[in-house]
Structure 1
Amino acid sequence: MQHTLTHPRTTLTRVVVTGAAGFIGSHLVDALLADGTTVIGVDRRDPRTDANAAANLAGALDHPGFTFVAADLRTSPLQALFLQADAVFHLAALPGVRGSWGERFAEYTASNVFATERVLAACEDVRVPRLVYASSSSVYGTTGGGATAEERTPNPESPYAVSKLAGEQLCLAHAGKPTSTVTAVALRLFTVYGPRQRHDMLIGRALTAALGGPALDLYGDGRQSRDFTYVGDVVSAAVAAATTAIGTTVLNIGAGVSTSVLEVLDAVEELSGHPVPINQRPAQAGDVETTLADRSRAADLLGWTPGTDLRRGISRQLDHLIADSPQPVRA
């Protein structure tokens, strides 16, 4: 089944994508270019010097509709980049729950809070009509296992989650100013996976381990579960959030199915035909037990439903890893 977008949508002519060289950002860039949109991609990782950025943007760098700008959102002038943009997709952030504890918190604050404030201020200055902000399901914290709706009071349990919630609140504050022309849609993304996924995330690490790479560090007993959401479905939701006539709001973007880590490992082993070697590690602070999205608001407001089940998505990520590997891997 393909994703469903039934609500009337406007056309995007010119947009800005921050974090364009990243996992989700590069997929969004590709989709927008395929729709005929002019895209300004902004990232502090320069594909001329960063191999991962170059690989992620390989399909976009030579496209006539794409311009890449190496810039740090914490310090670079932004107004000129945002001029005449129909929307800004703000995906740039410092990711990761475990790395946000301790001395790196200042970096998380600068990258995820201060930079977001600068992006919003620039959108206001040049009258960008819509900002789409990539938030995180981690803002909810421990939920008790049921489907989580947007009305639930956030309870972030890691510095990273705190920083993403602060970004959301900045979006709501800027959009709520009487003089502001920008509307903001914050997307609470549930665990995103697929081709180009960050190397530190579960499914990519499990597939790499099955294909002969380093053993998987398994934190906890593996019974913790996540709402794994395919990157293509997330991209469709982001585009819908930029083009559907809705006001400022917060939306869950998830598959609506929670799958345990052990079930993911079983699927990886079946699809790859190889066992996943494991190093057992203690559970980590900030890792919640269960995430599960109530996605009814996104369905109602955007006409969006996900269309990629977990096995199909893992299979696509496996194919990408095999095709993209510089060295032979186990088949």
Structure 2
Amino acid sequence: MHKLDLLNTGRGKLALVTGAAGFIGSNLVDALLASGWRVTGIDRRSPETDPVAAANLQQALTTPGFTFEQADVTDTRARELRKADIVFHLAAATGVRPSWGVNFADYMRDNLTATHHLVQECERADVRRLVLASSSSVYGTAPQPSAEDGPLLPISPYGVSKLAAEQLALAYAARSASVTSTVALRFFTVYGPRQRPDMAISRMLYAVRTGVPMNLYGDGHQRRNFTFVTDAVRALLLAASTGTTGRAVNIAGPASVTVQMVLDTVEEVTGQPVPVVHTASRSGDPASTAADTRRATAGLGYRPAVSLPEGITRQWQWMRAAQSAPLIGGPA
């Protein structure tokens, strides 16, 4: 597999990142800038009015080579910015619970329609590479460990929307006249600094910090393949610089672990038990996720580097250093 040197090829080139003010997006922006790329970030949230966006982009906004544009992916202003060497598409409606019912219209607009606009604009602007963020939610109840060429059985509207978005992007890339090579990364439960407050590890650390019990959905025996954010970002960079194209690739952490094991690790890291209130499982949450990452290893050269204890320690240190910033809005 042909592999490029990202650090060398990035210097002086332009990367466009959608969802740049978000959790993974802002971490990716920082990494690209550190590697010498010029970066244009697009997000509907403005650092001037949104405190979370301001905190996430604080470093980037003071770094030469970064331009921020408050825009929707489908805005005309955003289309004019797509003369990029590579596009990382991370903008999306996220979360399983909010995707049920009338909110699904937002997921269709933000995950499917926006992706459709983006892939068309990439073709028109002769963008050579598109890296799309997908999700392990596309697997649902499929047999595990989940392999990219195995069954896709999403059990939530969110999972359905992410599957439709990646298949749409890959369908465009498969056309004989397409100039844009595309790879979709299926991320498994990313955590770390800047993680959304509604996600599990954020809620656990928030509960420890405040003493306010968190809702523990299910019995704690459900399993997840947690992926630290720097591993996720490294996978994005690898996807930008390899010849892997026209396919989906699983990106996951070292192992699938139970939620109870995560609670125990949080207690070890913080020195305090996590206060919880047990409640029923939620619709759309699979009992277990576990990734087959052989394609990522062979095609991208990806291997996870951060263990769960190390990752939770780094997220806890970040949360404490950020003082009140991570408490904005509280956990869902």
TM > 0.5:
yes
**Is the CA contact 2:42–2:78 (under 8 Å) kept in the aligned structure 1?**
no
Task: Spell out structure 1 runs of 4+ moving beyond 4 A.
Answer: none
Pairing partner for 1:255 from 246, 253, 256: 253
**Is the CA contact 1:7–1:303 (under 8 Å) kept in the aligned structure 2?**
no
1:48 is aligned to 48
CA deviations over 1:111-149 (Å, ceiling 9, x no partner): 0000010111100000100100000001001134x3111
- Mapped to 1, the partners of 2:79 and 2:112 lie a distance apart of 18
Pairing partner for 1:9 from 2, 5, 20: 5
**Is the CA contact 2:72–2:78 (under 8 Å) kept in the aligned structure 1?**
no
Pairing partner for 1:273 from 262, 271, 274: 271
The worse-fitting range, judged by mean Cα deviation, of 14-23 and 276-285 is: 276-285
How far the C-alpha of 1:178 sits from its partner, in A, is 2.1
**What SS does the corresponding residue of 1:211 show, helix, strand or coil?**
helix
1:196 is aligned to 194
How far the C-alpha of 1:77 sits from its partner, in A, is 4.1
How far the C-alpha of 1:326 sits from its partner, in A, is 2.5
2:132 is aligned to 133
Matches within 5 A, 1:1-331: 7-10=3-6, 11-12=9-10, 13-83=13-83, 85-144=84-143, 146-326=144-324
Amino acid across the alignment from 2:62: D
The worse-fitting range, judged by mean Cα deviation, of 192-201 and 9-18 is: 9-18
**Is the CA contact 2:142–2:152 (under 8 Å) kept in the aligned structure 1?**
no
- Mapped to 2, the partners of 1:116 and 1:287 lie a distance apart of 24
- Mapped to 2, the partners of 1:290 and 1:46 lie a distance apart of 36
How far the C-alpha of 1:303 sits from its partner, in A, is 1.0
Where in structure 2 are there 5+ consecutive unaligned residues? 328-332
**What SS does the corresponding residue of 2:54 show, helix, strand or coil?**
helix
- Mapped to 2, the partners of 1:260 and 1:208 lie a distance apart of 19
- Mapped to 2, the partners of 1:140 and 1:9 lie a distance apart of 32
**What SS does the corresponding residue of 1:313 show, helix, strand or coil?**
helix
- Mapped to 1, the partners of 2:305 and 2:105 lie a distance apart of 38
Amino acid across the alignment from 1:251: V
How far the C-alpha of 1:18 sits from its partner, in A, is 0.2
Amino acid across the alignment from 2:112: V
**Is the CA contact 1:149–1:293 (under 8 Å) kept in the aligned structure 2?**
yes
The worse-fitting range, judged by mean Cα deviation, of 307-316 and 245-254 is: 245-254
Amino acid across the alignment from 1:120: V
Distance 1:151 1:36, change over 3 A: same
**What SS does the corresponding residue of 1:81 show, helix, strand or coil?**
coil
Amino acid across the alignment from 1:67: T
The worse-fitting range, judged by mean Cα deviation, of 16-25 and 166-175 is: 166-175
Amino acid across the alignment from 1:44: R
**Is the CA contact 2:211–2:275 (under 8 Å) kept in the aligned structure 1?**
no
Amino acid across the alignment from 2:99: S
The worse-fitting range, judged by mean Cα deviation, of 276-285 and 34-43 is: 276-285
- Mapped to 2, the partners of 1:204 and 1:312 lie a distance apart of 15
**Is the CA contact 1:189–1:253 (under 8 Å) kept in the aligned structure 2?**
yes
The worse-fitting range, judged by mean Cα deviation, of 212-221 and 112-121 is: 212-221
TM value normalised by structure 2: 0.94
- Mapped to 2, the partners of 1:274 and 1:240 lie a distance apart of 37
- Mapped to 1, the partners of 2:249 and 2:120 lie a distance apart of 22
Report percent identity of matched pairs: 50
- Mapped to 2, the partners of 1:126 and 1:37 lie a distance apart of 19
- Mapped to 2, the partners of 1:93 and 1:56 lie a distance apart of 17
- Mapped to 1, the partners of 2:63 and 2:77 lie a distance apart of 25
How far the C-alpha of 1:103 sits from its partner, in A, is 1.0
Amino acid across the alignment from 1:285: S
**What SS does the corresponding residue of 2:46 show, helix, strand or coil?**
coil
Where in structure 1 are there 5+ consecutive unaligned residues? 1-5
**What SS does the corresponding residue of 1:252 show, helix, strand or coil?**
strand
